[in-house]
Structure 1
Amino acid sequence: MNTDYETVRKIGDVLNDPKEPLAGRFRALFTLRNLGGQTAIDCISKCFGDSSALLKHECAYCLGQMQDKGAIPALESVLRDENQETIVRHEAGEALGAIGADSVLDILEEFQHSEIQEISETCQLAIQRIQWLHSQKKHDKSSKLSANPFESVDPAPPAEETTIETLRERLLDEKLSLFDRYRAMFALRNHNSEESVKALAEGLQCSNSALFRHEIAYVLGQMQHKVCVPQLMESLKKLEENAMVRHECAEALGSIAQDESEDILKEYAKDKERVVRESCEVALDMCEYEQSGDLHYADGLIKVQEAKA
């Protein structure tokens, strides 16, 4: 999208202003993601100095979704930075995998051996994603993959089309590699049916990987189906659950935007974990957006243009 430098910078100023409401900063971030280009990347990268792990994590996510190699240096720096929160470093690793450049393999291979499980698993998945992309190019395979109706860049390709029950079994089989289970996860998401939502929601009870459970919550939020609201609420309420999982459950509830979700989001907006509190705050803004019928969540450009007028 062709937008002048000063306009992009003004949107970046909103993103990087800690005095701005968090929900408004999120909207500015997604506006920058949609605009793209190096100026937007620079604005987003500047935000890695913020105090909010949630916002920084979302910045890394957006840089990955942009798939612009110009973001690689900032993402590598975040992944290496032990002062950054695990949720932020994990997302930087996932974003490097989403960009998919050969040049990121060295750092991913280094951190696949991290003592922090969420980081090591993320980097392993990112390596496998890049290797899978290479195999597709090498063999010039005609794709048998189901279409992605959500248009996101995912950490693993969906499994080749198969039955929901078979995919459910793969999803829940903790003996399989995480990459295979992720492939089943995204294939179930792409089925986009009530039956596949129910199968995915069972994954919130899997015990061996918080990263896996957090991704389950993420895809349930993408699908926006109310049948999984009880399971998402249950996971959000679990104080012993990893904060990464609880945060993603909160955002999924905001995206699904049911009346019953609003009460629990308001309750856990007072949670002791900052990333959970802030996720509930952002989720309530998402609820309001989904229920309003407004066409623009990423409204940073509109607001800057209105200010100019």
Structure 2
Amino acid sequence: MVNITENQIRNIGKVLKDETRPLKERFRALFTLRNVGGPVSIECIQECFGDGSALLKHELAYCLGQMQDSEAVSVLIKVLEDTKQEPMVRHEAAEALGAIASVEATPILEKFKADPVIEVAETCELALERIKWLNSPESAQLDVKSPYNSVDPAPPATCDDVGELKQVLLNENASLFERYRAMFSLRNLQTKEAILALGVALKYGSALFRHEIAFVLGQIQDEEGVPFLKESLEDCAENEMVRHECAEALGAIATDHCIEILNRFVKDDKRVVKESCEIALDMCEYENSPEFQYANTLQVS
């Protein structure tokens, strides 16, 4: 974005911080700040980690990671260290540190890879593996740029055989990093067979693994993924981190059927699921509108 004044950025920050505003408006403000980037945007995002919404705080950490600005490292370390923060927020802070891949974060990730919260421990392990991989000879030969413009927690595998990738994906004895690599390769293939392999994996592995499967199905935006996402969202015994990601994925796919499913869970007992459905329905509205860019709050004062 061009010619944005500090005052405009801070006005967007005010929208993000205003708890009286609808969550969808605050999300749009957050994603605008992410797109703008820079120290003032990071400062505005940092100020909201005391919010009551775990979903919003999770998204704050996600955006800081996607910005890949080392200015955010100290903020994310504080969030990861804060055991009063919800597991999904701390997990996202760890993943964001892996996305930025600053060596400054290595000691803290090493410390928390033994965290009693499994989602946090697994994410720290993945983040460390990503940093290690980025400093390996293989990383120089593989383009890690995602076709979805996302900074992924693992690079895609070099294999493009769906059968082989599915085997690794479902192998609970393989390392989480290798399974993630298979996952991102299947996502990048975008074939029906690849999507079905990912859909099957939504019932495998840890909550962290399943939530990432839901995330990539949302990135692909293919209707083939809907039955799998629907089943997991409807399962009230499923981890709320997984259900929240399924809701957002359905929002990205944005068919009439997705909207019908999301409307059924917009009053869910779990706050993070309920709020995810609200945000997902806002995404559906965008996907089916002529708006060019989701979350442009520059006009808000």
TM-score (norm 2): 0.97
Query: How many angstroms does 1:261 deviate by?
Result: 1.3
Q: Deviations over 1:131-177 (max 9, x none)?
A: 000113xx78422x576211110000100032111111111111101
TM-aligned CA distance change 1:90 to 1:29, over 3 Å: same
Q: Which residue number in structure 2 is paired with residue 68 of structure 1? A: 69
Counting only pairs closer than 5 Å after superposition, residues 1-16 of structure 1 correspond to structure 2 as 1=1, 2-16=3-17
Q: Which residue number in structure 2 is paired with residue 82 of structure 1? A: 83
Q: Which residue number in structure 2 is paired with residue 188 of structure 1? A: 186
Supply the distance in 2 between the matched residues of 1:118 and 1:275 (Cα, whole angstroms).
16
Q: Which residue number in structure 2 is paired with residue 108 of structure 1? A: 109
Q: Which residue number in structure 2 is paired with residue 294 of structure 1? A: 291
Query: How many angstroms does 1:262 deviate by?
Result: 1.2
Q: Which residue number in structure 2 is paired with residue 275 of structure 1? A: 272
Q: Which residue number in structure 1 is paired with residue 95 of structure 2? A: 94
Supply the distance in 2 between the matched residues of 1:171 and 1:127 (Cα, whole angstroms).
20
- Greater displacement, 189-198 / 277-286: 189-198
What is the aligned-residue RMSD (CA, Å)?
1.3
AA of the residue aligned to 1:287: C
List alignment gaps of at least 5 residues for structure 1: none
CA contact (8 A) 1:146 1:187 kept: no
CA contact (8 A) 2:251 2:280 kept: yes
Size of the alignment, in residue pairs? 300
Matched, 1:239 2:240: no
Supply the distance in 2 between the matched residues of 1:29 and 1:140 (Cα, whole angstroms).
31
Q: Which residue number in structure 2 is paired with residue 285 of structure 1? A: 282
CA contact (8 A) 2:91 2:119 kept: yes
CA contact (8 A) 2:162 2:186 kept: yes
Q: Which residue number in structure 2 is paired with residue 214 of structure 1? A: 211
Query: How many angstroms does 1:195 deviate by?
Result: 1.8
Supply the distance in 2 between the matched residues of 1:120 and 1:249 (Cα, whole angstroms).
22
AA of the residue aligned to 1:31: T
CA contact (8 A) 1:146 1:190 kept: no
Q: Which runs of 4+ in 1 moved over 4 A?
A: none
Supply the distance in 2 between the matched residues of 1:205 and 1:268 (Cα, whole angstroms).
20
- Greater displacement, 289-298 / 87-96: 289-298
TM-aligned CA distance change 1:147 to 1:164, over 3 Å: farther
